[in-house]
Structure 1
Amino acid sequence: MNAPHPGTDVPPGYPPQYPSAAFQGPPEHTGYPGLQAGYPVPPAGYSPAGPTGFPPLNQPVYNQPGGPAGVPCMPTPPPPLNCPPGLEYLSQIDQLLIHQQIELLEVLTGFETNNKYEIKNSLGQRVYFAVEDTDFCTRNCCGPSRPFTLRILDNMGKEVITLERPLRCSSCCCPCCLQEIEIQAPPGVPVGYVTQTWHPCLPKFTIQNEKREDVLKITGPCIVCSCCADIDFEIKSLDEQILVGKISKQWTGILREAFTDADNFGIQFPLDLDVKMKAVMMGACFLI
Structure 2
Amino acid sequence: MENERIRSFFEGAERLFIRQVKEWGEILIGLEGKNKYQVLNDHGDQVGFIHEQGSGIMTFVKRVFLRNHRPLEVNVYNKAGEVVLHLSRGFFFFFSDLYITDPTTGKLIGSVHEKFSFFRKKYELCDENGRDFAYIDSGFFNFFKFDITTIEGRKLGSIKKKWGNLLKEFFTDADTFGVDISSELTLKEKSLVFATAIIVDFNHFEDNSKEIGLFD
TM range (shorter): 0.7 to 0.9
- In structure 2, the residue matched to 1:213 is 131
User: In the alignment, residue 145 of structure 2 is paired with which amino acid?
Assistant: D
Name the residue aligned to 1:85: 4
Distance of 1:95 and 1:214 partners within structure 2: 23
Aligned residue runs from structure 1 range 98-137, under 5 A:
98-134=18-54, 135-137=59-61
Look up the SS of the partner of 2:100 in the other structure: strand
Q: 1:122-201 maps to which residues of 2 (within 5 A)?
A: 122-134=42-54, 135-170=59-94, 178-186=95-103, 188-201=106-119
Task: Give 1 or 2: higher strand fraction.
Answer: 2
Contact 1:84 1:186 in 2 (8 A): no
CA distance 1:151–1:233, change in 2 (3 Å): same
Q: AA paired with 1:278?
A: K
The total of aligned residue pairs comes to: 194
Paired residues of 2:156 and 2:184 also in contact (CA < 8 A): no
Distance in 2 between residues matched to 1:258 and 1:125, nearest whole Å: 24
CA deviation digits over 1:115-167, x for unaligned, max 9?
Answer: 11111221222222111113211222111232211111122212121111111
1:260-285 per-residue CA deviation (whole Å, 9 max, x = no partner) reads 33311100131242111111111101
Q: RCO greater where, 1 or 2, for CA within 8 Å and sep 6 or more?
A: 2
- Cα distance in 1 for partners of 2:145, 2:115 equals 17
- Higher fraction of helix: 2
Question: Gaps spanning 5+ residues in structure 2: where?
Answer: 201-216
Distance in 2, Cα, partners of 1:165 & 1:262: 22
Work out the CA distance in 2 between the residues paired with 1:167 and 1:224.
26
Cα-to-partner distance string for 1:230-268 (whole Å, 9 max, x where unaligned): x210000114x3211100011133223333333111001
* 1:148/1:261 CA distance change after superposition, 3 Å: farther
Give the whole-Å Cα distance in 1 for the aligned partners of 2:44 and 2:87: 23
**Residue 248 (structure 1) aligned to one of 155, 160, 172:** 160
C-alpha separation between the residues in 2 aligned to 1:121 and 1:257? Answer: 20
Q: CA RMSD in A?
A: 1.7
* Alignment partner of 1:257 out of 163, 169, 176: 169
Choose the corresponding residue for 1:287, options 193, 196, 199.
199
Q: Write the mapping of 1:28-107 to structure 2, written as runs, cut at 5 A.
A: 82-89=1-8, 90-107=10-27
Aligned to 2:48, the other structure's residue is in SS state strand
Does the C-alpha gap of structure 1 residues 133 and 103 become closer, same or farther in structure 2, counting only changes over 3 Å?
A: same
Normalising by the residue count of structure 2, what TM-score does the alignment of the two structures yield? 0.83
Equivalent-residue separation in structure 1 for 2:148 and 2:61 (angstroms): 34
- Percent sequence identity over aligned pairs: 26
Post-superposition shift, 1:224?
Answer: 4.9
Change (3 A) 1:224 1:119: same
SS at match of 2:140: coil
The CA distance in 2 between the partners of 1:213 and 1:147, in whole Å, is: 24
Partner of 2:149: 236
Conservation of the 8 A alpha-carbon contact between 1:91 and 1:272: no
